[in-house]
Amino acid sequence: MNASTTRLLFCLGLCGLMGSGLYAVDSAVKFPAPMTRADSLKTPTKGSKEPFTMRAGDATMTFMGNARVDWFYEDNMYLLNKNIPDENEYFKEVVDFKFDVSYGEEKYEHKAVEVFADMRHKSVWGKGLSYADRDAGPIGPSQIKFGGENSQAIFGTHGHTSGKALLWFKDAWLRFSLNAAVGYYPSQRLHFLKLGWFPFEMGRGIALGSSYGLNKELLGLYSYSEDKSAPGINLNGVFIPDRLKYDLYFARFEEKNKSFDDVINLEKRHIVGRYSTPWRGVNKDDDLFAARINVRPIKSDTAGTLELEPYIFYNAASDQKVEMGPDAKVYWGSYGLQVEYGLGNFECGAETAFNYGKEELFNIDRNKAIVDNREGYIVELQSKIYDSDPSLATAKTVFVTPDSNKAAQADFYVNGKEIPGYPGYWNAKNRFRPAYNNRLAGWMMVVDGAYTIAPWNLKIAMGGGFASGDDAPHSVEKNKTYHGFVGLHETYNGKRIKSILILDERLLKRPVSATGDTGKVTALRDTTFSDLQLVQFGLTWAPKIFIKDLSLNSNVVSFWKAHRIHRYIAGTYNPATKKDSGYISPTEFARSYLGTEFNILSSCSVVRDLRMFANFALFFPGGFFADMKGIPLSDDYFKQVVQDERNGELEASKFRLSDDMAMHFNMGFEYKF
């Protein structure tokens, strides 16, 4: 029995005893009948725990938080390939200290002023600098390299790691009551203004979520997972008690106008036909404007409760990066509607959203000065200028500004032609990228429902979803419509039915589209809630047995790709000649079925507010991964394997994307105080 099989059996055994809701989500079903306690209270305070609270006059300070420690084991999560060491095992810790200070509950009968702060510590045990969920930095020094992919000069090493525990504020905000400010404060119609770092999402968080900086990788949008809430302003309140409320929201994701250095930054020199000056200029921030209302038109014991949430947002993101920043801007948004309904033991919900707007890409000069190692000598080269060989030219002049003669200027900006005024030097076939627009027209819909069988303490849920897909938006450089759905700061993993491995962990690299000729194929990948179809089924059981507050939740989720792409025919790779015989079939399409995830989430109480949990998931790949087996992704790890130029041809599919089963398991403890 190998090590992987032993771990799998160990995980399966533990999974039947313990578990949890997915990360911050508690999957336990709540039933009205309390579990019978055999042990009665022996003292007046036994079993009770109030928040840590201090009061001074009409001011109140509350201290609370949570601490969570997980152990993870994952296998084949990235490339579904058992032939490579795709296996993770680690501990992760998250501790939050939350402080809330408020004033006015006695005088105004509500919190007239409130300040909140969430101080967070997050770490992977033994991994320096890794305060985020995934790779935040190398634990050892990295080599300093100059040069091309196949011929590099190494100048030493550098490192920026920190072994100390890091603390930062995840949330920090100020909120005050407009009613108290003007002296009118009916308890049922309150309006608040909130400023600072705080989570804000619309609907289920698919069109607009609260994971600041986490965006679709294929578009030119600011993308850097901050693990803190976005800074913003929220005006919210109630118009009709228990019937109608609203939110108006503004956020600034990127600030590029704070100082003279920001606006004078000469980073637009690579833009062809740029404005009269090469500096950035003013008003190039990344801002969001959003609005929503929450309507409850029906609320009764006989007709049930119906809630509607229509919403819309607009994101003006200037100076974004697709290839070299800034080379694009994105003026876009989404509008949608969420519906929730409940009657007795039945509940259901749905949400749909549509993208609008466009991504505008500038006309740029891709040529850059690079340093390369030529037979032991360091030389300066031009990345997109060739001589008559045609190898890279060794000229040290950077050709950016053409001749002032208009005819020569027009000839200068032509790919694959000799450069006017520089005999023997030619522009590469892709030196200049033309200006073009991607009009955004993606859409999504999710729906689910559940019924609780109270006598059995059992909840049955079913659901499905669709998110449109398309080829990579930058694979064809011309004006077009991009049909793939784009979510902003989205991390949706299901509502009534959870997906751990595909929608929460999001480590699996799904090919979106592939381009290139034989031997030069590259597939762009995506991990977001886009280009997906899914069908879901779930069961949650809360048996009243000797284990306190035991909850067992099992889900089955099947996935299909929404947009079809051509099949990849895997071949062999020769390290000596650097030739790959794999190619994209011109006639055959890959199958759409991605595979099925089976997961179990379980939890139980240890003592009050301390729970023990375990999550287990398997993913069985479908025909799509079998048809795309061996395809090189945009970050091809296979190139790292063959850099030593070993002899003989290699079966490339053994080092790239495959179709083997993936497994995820995590267990641990969480305490809320």
Average pLDDT over residues 87-96: 94
- End-to-end Cα distance, the chain: 43
- Using the 3D structure, point to which of 416, 433, 450 is the last residue of a domain: 433
What region does 396 belong to: left with phi over 0, alpha with psi -120 to 50, or beta? alpha
From CA 54, how far away is CA 40, in angstroms rounded?
30
pLDDT score for 342 = 96
Indicate whether 610 belongs to any domain.
yes
> What pLDDT digit, counting tens, does each position of 204-236 carry?
999 999 988 776 667 777 666 678 899 999 999
> What pLDDT digit, counting tens, does each position of 190-200 carry?
999 999 999 99
Bridge-based pairing state of the strands 480-482 and 436-440? parallel
Counting residues of the chain whose pLDDT is more than 90, the rounded percentage is: 49
pLDDT score for 126 = 84
pLDDT score for 137 = 37
Indicate whether 660 belongs to any domain.
yes
Indicate whether 578 belongs to any domain.
yes
Q: Which two tokens stand for residue 19?
A: 């578990």
pLDDT score for 426 = 83
Q: Is the pLDDT of residue 406 over 60?
A: no
- Chain centre distance of CA 120: 20
Q: Looking at the structure, do residues 424 and 557 belong to the same domain, yes or no?
A: no
Q: Which two tokens stand for residue 341?
A: 């309904």
Bridge-based pairing state of the strands 59-75 and 52-56? antiparallel
pLDDT score for 622 = 96
Q: Number of helices and strands (H, E) in the chain?
A: 6, 36
pLDDT score for 15 = 46
Q: Is the pLDDT of residue 421 over 80?
A: no
In terms of C-beta density within 10 A (0-12 exposed, 13-18 middle, 19 or more buried), how is residue 156 classed?
exposed
Greater confidence (624 vs 226) lies with 624
From CA 231, how far away is CA 346, in angstroms rounded?
38
- Using the 3D structure, point to which of 392, 408, 433 is the last residue of a domain: 433
Answer for the pair 81, 570: CB distance below 8 angstroms, yes or no.
no
Q: Looking at the structure, do residues 511 and 606 belong to the same domain, yes or no?
A: yes
Q: Looking at the structure, do residues 504 and 409 belong to the same domain, yes or no?
A: no
> What pLDDT digit, counting tens, does each position of 116-130 carry?
999 999 888 887 654
Q: Is the pLDDT of residue 24 over 70?
A: no
Indicate whether 319 belongs to any domain.
no
pLDDT score for 513 = 81
pLDDT score for 103 = 96
Average pLDDT over residues 259-263: 82
With bands split at pLDDT 50, 70 and 90, how would you rate the model's confidence at 593? Answer: very high
Greater confidence (596 vs 656) lies with 596
Average pLDDT over residues 398-424: 68
Indicate whether 17 belongs to any domain.
yes
Q: Is the pLDDT of residue 346 over 50?
A: yes
Q: Looking at the structure, do residues 379 and 513 belong to the same domain, yes or no?
A: no
Indicate whether 501 belongs to any domain.
yes
Greater confidence (559 vs 85) lies with 559
Number of other residues whose CB lies within 10 A of the CB of residue 6: 10
pLDDT score for 672 = 92
Q: Looking at the structure, do residues 552 and 420 belong to the same domain, yes or no?
A: no
From CA 583, how far away is CA 471, in angstroms rounded?
17
With bands split at pLDDT 50, 70 and 90, how would you rate the model's confidence at 666? Answer: very high
Worst-scoring range by mean pLDDT, 182-186, 204-208, 547-551, 625-629? Answer: 182-186
With bands split at pLDDT 50, 70 and 90, how would you rate the model's confidence at 623? Answer: very high
Q: Looking at the structure, do residues 585 and 663 belong to the same domain, yes or no?
A: yes
Q: Is the pLDDT of residue 40 over 60?
A: no
pLDDT score for 204 = 95
Q: Is the pLDDT of residue 56 over 70?
A: yes
Q: Looking at the structure, do residues 619 and 546 belong to the same domain, yes or no?
A: yes
Answer for the pair 626, 589: CB distance below 8 angstroms, yes or no.
no
Q: Looking at the structure, do residues 562 and 644 belong to the same domain, yes or no?
A: yes
From CA 343, how far away is CA 349, in angstroms rounded?
12
pLDDT score for 140 = 42
Indicate whether 404 belongs to any domain.
yes
Q: Is the pLDDT of residue 339 over 80?
A: yes
Q: Is the pLDDT of residue 470 over 80?
A: yes
Looking at residue 313, what DSSP letter applies? E
With bands split at pLDDT 50, 70 and 90, how would you rate the model's confidence at 35? Answer: very low
Average pLDDT over residues 305-326: 92
From CA 387, how far away is CA 371, in angstroms rounded?
17
Could you identify the residue written with the tokens 């919900």?
349
Average pLDDT over residues 368-372: 75
The three-state secondary structure class of 536 is strand
> What is the DSSP track for 427-463?
E-TTSEEPPEEEEE--EEEEEEEEEEEGGGTEEEEEE
With bands split at pLDDT 50, 70 and 90, how would you rate the model's confidence at 640? Answer: low
Nearest of 637, 357, 365 to residue 509 by alpha carbon: 637
> Can you name the residues that pair with 63 across neighbouring β-strands?
52, 99
Q: Is the pLDDT of residue 160 over 60?
A: no
Q: Looking at the structure, do residues 406 and 530 belong to the same domain, yes or no?
A: no
Worst-scoring range by mean pLDDT, 199-208, 363-372, 426-435? Answer: 363-372
Q: What is the mean pLDDT of the chain?
A: 82
> What pLDDT digit, counting tens, does each position of 268-292 carry?
778 887 655 677 788 888 999 999 9
Q: How many domains are contained in the chain?
A: 2
**Domain that residue 380 falls in:** 365-433
Q: Looking at the structure, do residues 404 and 518 belong to the same domain, yes or no?
A: no
Q: Looking at the structure, do residues 408 and 518 belong to the same domain, yes or no?
A: no
> What pLDDT digit, counting tens, does each position of 495-549 carry?
999 999 999 998 888 888 877 665 567 777 788 899 999 999 999 999 888 788 8
Counting residues of the chain whose pLDDT is more than 70, the rounded percentage is: 79
Indicate whether 657 belongs to any domain.
yes
Q: Looking at the structure, do residues 411 and 535 belong to the same domain, yes or no?
A: no
Q: What value, to the nearest 5°, has the Cα angle with vertex 282 and ends 281 and 286?
A: 115
